[in-house]
Amino acid sequence: MKRHIKSQVYWVGKKDWELTSFHGDEYSTHKGSSYNSFLIQEEKTVLIDTVWAPFAKDFVANLEQEIDLASIDYIIANHAEVDHSGALPELMQRIPDVPIYCTANGVKSLRGHYHQDWNFKTVKTGDTLDIGNGKQLVFIEAPMLHWPDSMFTYLTGDSILFSNDAFGQHYASEHLFNDQVDQEELFQEAIKYYANILTPFSPLVTKKIKEVLALEVPVDMIATSHGIIWRENPTQIVEKYLEWADQYQENRISLIYDTMWGGTRRLAEAIAEGIHNADPQVDVRLFNSAKRDKNDIMTEIFASKAIMLGSPTINKGILTSTAAIIEEAKGLKFRGKQAAAFGPYGWSGESVSILNKALEDSGFKLVNDGLKTLWEPDEAILDTARNFGKEFVAALEKG
């Protein structure tokens, strides 16, 4: 059933309560997700985005219960990624001539995915489409937020910004709007989404938001393509994005490690004790990278002013879960964060130098040479680790 959003605008998407991972298995979705599609029924009938392919048949069948598919005048494809375009092949079989409005890169992506020569209409920033009753759709290209083809669509009169992935959250709820859901859950999923998907594009986020704000158009609602729609104080998420895009950090230090027989864990705990004793205000947190969720750890790094990465040496290398963490962090291009490495060894002892290089290559600023300790930590080594934590805090204060 379509659900009313505002005036003649309806939600016709899919809530996906079962989703546990997104982008294959790259992004954990503890709270499910939704694929938001919108139907505008003014003089013209417009469909904005669709849903992920597994739900294509249901999507088209549900839509057909609401409207005659032949009455759709325009389809807007704000983004070609399959979670939003996945029902197009099913839909276009039924209405093959209906124009699909998207960016030039959108045409390339949609052709690349589906190898169909649909009736594409290419749009650029500032282009408009009249939908009757004095209302227009205004298109705003948003390249690399987060794909080259991404764009926003603004509905005049109702002042709704259809922002696609931007401002979204992987968050299933039977509610549609931000004022109806648990705020802590909502913002946790929003920051996780930003940290894991948008961080690499932060400079572009700032630039695009400023460009949109400069238009000085009213925004009554931000209708994202995942999760809930922002209607109560909708620009609060825009303000959050400006904050998050500006090398966001809290007074937090995250210690991320993996351990074979507990030596690296004991070092991590002693370092954390040293950090806490040196600065009781700092929120120091420990994560075993083999036991904790990778995307949750990325969100913790995103919110940290500094991190430490720990691994014992194994086969002249590091444990694979720490290698995966730093590889993921490298891609996300965190900026303005300080770091250090630690790890015990028995004979060859390469882990700390490998971690140091990986941290530097990933854009973290090393504050020291790291802590490398021989064999299982005894009380003297644990004292050294406590002191390492204390000195790390002092170095950060200088940094």
Binding ligand FEO (rule: CB under 6 A), the pick from 15, 84, 135, 276 is 84
Q: Are 263 and 344 in contact (CB under 8 A)?
A: yes
Per rule CB under 6 A, is residue 83 in the interface with ligand FEO?
Answer: yes
Decide whether 150 or 362 has the Cβ nearer to ligand FEO.
150
The helix (H) or strand (E) run that includes residue 102 is strand 100-102
User: Which listed residue (10, 49, 146, 345) is catalytic?
Assistant: 146
Per rule CB under 6 A, is residue 165 in the interface with ligand FEO?
Answer: yes
- Contact set for ligand FEO, span 183-242 (CB under 6 A): 225-226
Helices (H), the chain: 56-66, 82-85, 88-94, 104-114, 183-193, 202-214, 236-245, 263-278, 294-303, 320-332, 351-361, 379-398
Q: Are 386 and 357 in contact (CB under 8 A)?
A: no
Q: Are 298 and 195 in contact (CB under 8 A)?
A: yes
Per rule CB under 6 A, is residue 266 in the interface with ligand FEO?
Answer: no
3 state DSSP class of 162 = strand
Binding ligand FEO (rule: CB under 6 A), the pick from 16, 81, 141, 300 is 81
Short-list 341, 339, 311, CA closest to 324:
311
Short-list 332, 267, 263, 242, CA closest to 295:
332
Q: Please, what is the Cα angle at 263 between 258 and 268, to 5 degrees?
A: 65
Please state the closest distance from residue 146 (CB atom) to ligand FEO, in A. Answer: 6
Decide whether 41 or 169 has the Cβ nearer to ligand FEO.
169
Judged by CB under 6 A, the stretch of 78-86, 231-239, 327-335, 374-382 that binds ligand FEO is 78-86
Q: Rounded to whole angstroms, how far apart are CA atoms 51 and 16?
A: 10
**Residue 397 DSSP label:** H
Is 276 one of the annotated active-site residues of the chain? no
Binding ligand FEO (rule: CB under 6 A), the pick from 79, 276, 337, 372 is 79
Is 193 one of the annotated active-site residues of the chain? yes
- Contact set for ligand FEO, span 138-157 (CB under 6 A): 146-147
Decide whether 35 or 257 has the Cβ nearer to ligand FEO.
35
Is 16 one of the annotated active-site residues of the chain? no
Please state the closest distance from residue 197 (CB atom) to ligand FEO, in A. Answer: 7
User: Which listed residue (16, 42, 141, 165) is catalytic?
Assistant: 165
User: Which listed residue (10, 27, 42, 79) is catalytic?
Assistant: 79
Please state the closest distance from residue 115 (CB atom) to ligand FEO, in A. Answer: 20
Q: Are 125 and 119 in contact (CB under 8 A)?
A: no
Decide whether 169 or 289 has the Cβ nearer to ligand FEO.
169
**Residue 364 DSSP label:** P
What amino acid positions are annotated as catalytic residues?
23, 79, 81, 83, 146, 165, 193, 226
Binding site residues, ligand FEO, CB under 6 A: 79, 81, 83-84, 146-147, 165, 225-226
